[in-house]
């Protein structure tokens, strides 16, 4: 399939970001291959037929919270999920009034069978660890589960705990916490990171994005790019589609992570 865009100046950038965001979804790519009508293709390309993706980004992440009790983290996570439209009042009431499950290593988990409107995960981390019933508390993960999407996040969390690597979640910055919970890539001990401000007039659209990706491909390391003004989720630096879909604009701070 070939897509042509005709526009003057930078009018095409918003549409380009929309298309790359949609096309970077493997499930949508498969639907495009089997689409049989022009209307179906249009709806897929405009994102009209997409189910809501799991919400786990900077809007549902709270780090360095001034908390000395678990209830503060419970209320904060519930409020975050309510603000993004993932849960209703019944969910909020349940997760605030019920004691979360202690997973060990300072990590706690809670959810509710009621009031799940869309799949989302909220994470809050205390600035300083405290105790609940003589057990350490550093981080609370609250899950709204409207479909199976959160399962992958829970599996990654479980692996971190089983491998005794939960401390990565307790010390990392926001971008790394999101990467640990949304990516299946193994944790590398030799990760290097740097932040840069994009000064290109129209941000990382197709042409400068291509230059960046081609530069990254010259290295054997795994390199990810994160738009710190966006969702905070990392993108594979070797994928032009995923880099452009970040929506990096002029003066956007971007973080680069290199492993290996």
Instruction: Tell whether 81 and 160 lie within a shared domain.
Output: yes
Residue 246 lies in a domain: yes
Q: Which residues pair with 246 in a beta bridge?
A: none
8 Å CB contact between 237 and 227: no
pLDDT at 118: 95
- What is residue 229's predicted lDDT score, i.e. its pLDDT? 81
The domain of 42 spans 1-50
Residues 65 and 161 in one domain: yes
- 41-50, 99-108, 127-136, 221-230, range with the lowest pLDDT: 41-50
**Interval 15-29 mean pLDDT:** 70
Asked about 94 being catalytic, the answer comes back as: no
**Would you state the pLDDT for residue 188?**
54
Q: What is the spatial distance between Cα 142 and Cα 81, in angstroms, rounded to a whole number?
A: 9
Residue-level pLDDT at 9:
61
pLDDT at 54 over 70: yes
- Tokens 């010259």 belong to residue: 218
User: Domain holding 213: CATH number?
Assistant: 3.30.1340.10
Active-site residue, selected from the candidate residues 12, 21, 168, 205 = 205
Q: Of 129, 154, 182, which residue is a domain's last?
A: 182
Q: What is the mean pLDDT of residues 184-207?
A: 74
- In this prediction, residue 137 carries a pLDDT of 98
CATH of residue 69's domain is 3.40.930.10
Question: Do 68 and 169 fall within a single domain?
Answer: yes
Domain count, the chain: 3
- Identify whether residues 113 and 168 lie together within a single domain: yes
Give the domain-ending residue among 155, 182, 209: 182
**pLDDT at 190 > cutoff 70:** no
Per-residue model confidence as pLDDT tens digits over 124-148:
999 999 999 999 999 999 999 999 8
Instruction: Examine the domain organization and report whether 196 and 102 are in the same domain.
Output: no
Q: Tell me, yes or no, whether 203 and 231 share the same domain.
A: yes
């Amino acid at each position: 399939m070939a897509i042509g865009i005709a526009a003057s100046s930078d009018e095409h950038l918003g549409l380009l970001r929309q298309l790359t965001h949609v096309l970077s979804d493997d499930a949508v790519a498969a639907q495009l291959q089997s689409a049989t009508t022009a209307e179906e293709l249009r709806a897929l390309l405009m994102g009209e037929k997409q189910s809501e993706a799991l919400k786990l980004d900077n809007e549902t992440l709270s780090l360095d919270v001034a908390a000395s009790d678990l209830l503060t983290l419970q209320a904060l996570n519930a409020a975050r999920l309510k603000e993004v439209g993932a849960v209703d009042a019944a969910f909020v009431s349940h997760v605030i009034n019920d004691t979360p499950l202690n997973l060990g290593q300072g990590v706690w988990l809670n959810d509710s069978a009621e009031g799940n409107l869309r799949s989302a995960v909220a994470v809050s981390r205390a600035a300083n660890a405290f105790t609940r019933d003589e057990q350490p508390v550093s981080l609370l993960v609250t899950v709204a589960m409207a479909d199976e999407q959160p399962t992958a996040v829970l599996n990654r969390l479980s692996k971190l705990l089983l491998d005794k690597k939960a401390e990565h979640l307790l010390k990392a910055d926001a971008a790394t916490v999101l990467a640990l919970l949304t990516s299946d890539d193994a944790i590398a001990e030799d990760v290097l990171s740097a932040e840069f401000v994009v000064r290109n007039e129209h941000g990382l659209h197709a042409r400068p994005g291509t230059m960046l990706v081609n530069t990254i491909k010259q290295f054997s390391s795994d390199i990810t790019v994160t738009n710190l003004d966006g969702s905070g989720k990392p993108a594979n630096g070797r994928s032009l589609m995923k880099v452009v879909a970040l929506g990096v604009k002029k003066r956007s701070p971007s973080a680069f992570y290199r492993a290996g």
